[in-house]
Structure 1
Amino acid sequence: MINRLKTALIQASLTWEDPLVNRKTFSKKILETSNDVDLIILPEMFTTGFTMSPKHIDHGEGLKTVEWMQAEASAKNAALVGSIVFQENNQFYNRLFFVKPNGEVSFYDKRHTFTLAGEDKIYTAGTSKLIVEYKGFRICPFVCYDLRFPVWARNTDFYDVLIYVANWPKPRINAWDALLKARAIENMSYCIGVNRIGKDSNGHEYNGHSAVYNTLGEELIFSEKEEVLYANLEKEHIKKTRGKLKFLDDRDEFTLLK
């Protein structure tokens, strides 16, 4: 059983609605990551920025990006995760893909579409969580606005790692910082947040604050600039903390109605 997972968080600026340019940018950054990395995490909508005009994106770009993720994961021998604009059955999704080095693909559709920007009127919301088993860790990935809804993230599945990929703007970054830490503490899980930096074509500014928190809510890494951040996740830390502090045993039982 593997007891350590080395993660790389790629915090970068995005080129507006240009999947080809963004794939080239991230190919270069992935190539430069450490050779012993196990999991590489990219921001939300990493090929386009947070666009509310998905019709501007060619229908085939979604599958092209998934194939690109498979090729990059295989070449690096590391899993790759991030969300993109994806069109299927005449509907648009803010879809997160988790791609393993062997080419296996899992996906999660963002459940909480961002009503403030009208995302709910353009993208179809997801209805189910995703738990990925990878190198001995149970990983639960979400997308941006999902972070504000603790019930959806409640650790009823005994996952080890929460991931949030985002385009979270600077004016509300204090909420991002506070909620990442809270999700780690209340779920006794590692919590990873990967945000973008720079400005988009709507003038929104992003200042990163990508970070990793352990099961006690202690900050392991944090950044406000364009860079790759590394963090080692330790299975023993999870086991030790949950063994000593059995807070998850006292969870409320509930059922989501919709």
Structure 2
Amino acid sequence: MKIVILQTDIVWANPSANIEKADEIINRHEGVDIFVLPEMFSTGFCTNPEGIAEKSNSGTLEWMKRTAQRKNCAMAGSIALEDNGKYYNRFYFVHPGGTVDWYDKKHLFTFGGEHKRFTAGSKRIIVNYRGVRILLQVCYDLRFPVWSRNRNDYDIAIYVASWPTPRVEVWKLLLRARAIENQCYVVGVNRVGKDPDCDYIGGSAVISPYGKVVAACEDGNACEAVADIDMSELEEFRKKFPVLNDADSFELV
């Protein structure tokens, strides 16, 4: 599976400019299975979404659908969305045929006030795409391993983020931890640049189940990275070292 991660410098509250930037990158690549963009990639991370969040008939979502069809790929990334009077940090996974799966961020970033205006999701979402099971996660979710615990039900976890520079080493360490403990590939996509509140340096990477970096973007630069993942290697590793079979059982309440 070929995955391209886009570490973009997001223009504040300007979906058309951010889509144009993403298109420039996407059009350079062929034969890609999934393009992954950061958290709230069309606007930047906002905790006061009035006047910034997109509507349920989001133009960004329509662009994702058109691009997925045109490039015969999946498009993944979150946007700030207003739906029936509520605001969500919604991670869209758009299939080439136009089918859309989505995950509403469960762990809202209370330290930054995200919980004051946004509504948390409650449903864990795993997407089946080209024979691969993919868990959808957003930013702060990375700090809560129970929510992402692999129950032998996914192969790749995707984390899209707006993770500030002062805590970027935590981001990098936790991406590796989630890959190792869940015996899966982890795709972590963070932004670069500035918004009204924070600076971002990136640290986007694809991590193997061994905790090794498969592909990574250069810190501080708007760029992309390409990872070719051999899912048969993951299957072989799990057979050889079936650690997930010994995981503790639990229920989320």
TM-score by length of 2: 0.96
Q: Are positions 1:181 and 2:176 aligned together?
A: yes
Question: Are 2:33 and 1:12 aligned?
Answer: no
Residue by residue over 1:209-247, the C-alpha shift from the partner in whole angstroms, topping out at 9 and shown as x without a partner, is 101111111111122121110001111111111011111
Task: Measure the CA separation in 2 of the matches of 1:86 and 1:12.
Answer: 20
Q: Does 1:216 align with 2:213?
A: no
For residues 193 and 43 of structure 1, the distance between their equivalents in structure 2, rounded to whole angstroms, comes to 9
Aligned amino acid, residue 231 of structure 2:
K
Matching residue of 1:195 = 190
Distance 1:59 1:226 in 2: 24
For the 8 Å contact 2:133–2:156, the answer to whether it is kept is: yes
Which residue among 26, 31, 40 is the counterpart of 1:36? 31
Larger deviation, residues 189-198 vs 234-243: 234-243
Q: Secondary structure of the residue that 2:153 maps to in structure 1?
A: coil
How many angstroms does 1:60 deviate by? Answer: 3.4
Match runs of 1:139-154 below 5 Å:
139-154=134-149
Q: Which residue of 1 aligns with 2:167?
A: 172
Is 2:56 the counterpart of 1:54?
no
Q: Is 1:115 aligned with 2:110?
A: yes
Q: Secondary structure at the match of 2:236?
A: helix
Query: Does the CA contact (< 8 Å) of 1:62 and 1:87 recur in 2?
Result: no
Q: Distance in 2 between matches of 1:151 and 1:36?
A: 35
Check 1:207–1:113 CA distance in 2 against 1; reply closer, same or farther (3 A cut).
same
Partner amino acid for 1:248?
L
Residue identity in the other structure for 2:165: K
Contact preservation (8 Å) 1:188, 1:215: yes
Displacement of 1:61 in angstroms is 7.2
> 63-72 or 219-228, which moves further after superposition?
219-228
Equivalent position of 1:205 in the other structure: 199
Q: Secondary structure at the match of 2:146?
A: helix
Q: Is the 8 A contact 1:212 1:221 kept in 2?
A: yes
Seq. identity, %: 43
Kindly indicate whether the alpha-carbon contact (under 8 Å) linking 1:62 and 1:85 is maintained by their aligned counterparts in 2.
no
Residue matched to 1:91: 86
Look up the SS of the partner of 2:227 in the other structure: strand
- Cα RMSD (Å) of the superposition? 1.2
Q: TM-score, normalised by structure 1?
A: 0.94
Which residue is equivalent to 2:98?
103
Q: Tell me which residue corresponds to 2:225.
A: 229
Taking structure 1 as reference, are residues 15 and 68 closer, same or farther at Cα in structure 2, changes over 3 Å only? same
> CA 1:246/1:77 → structure 2, altered by over 3 Å: closer, same or farther?
same
Unaligned runs of 5+ in 2: none
Q: Alignment partner of 1:150: what SS?
A: coil
For residues 164 and 54 of structure 2, the distance between their equivalents in structure 1, rounded to whole angstroms, comes to 27
CA distance in 1 between counterparts of 2:15 and 2:212 reads: 35
Q: Does 1:239 align with 2:235?
A: yes
Report the more deviating stretch, 244-253 or 221-230. 221-230
1:253 partner letter: S
Aligned-pair distance for 1:158? 2.1
Larger helix fraction of residues: 1
Q: How many residues align?
A: 251
Task: Say if 2:4 and 2:224, in contact at 8 Å, map to a contact too.
Answer: yes
The answer to whether the Cα contact below 8 Å between 1:164 and 1:194 also exists between their aligned partners in 2 is: yes
Tell me the amino acid that sits aligned with residue 212 of structure 1: V
Structure 2: distance between partners of 1:196 and 1:155: 26
1:19-62 deviation per Cα after TM superposition (whole angstroms, max 9, x unaligned): 12212221222112x21111000000001111112112265375
Give the direction of change, closer, same or farther, for the CA distance of 1:168–1:62 in structure 2 (3 Å limit): farther
Whether contact under 8 Å (2:55, 2:83) holds in the other structure is: no
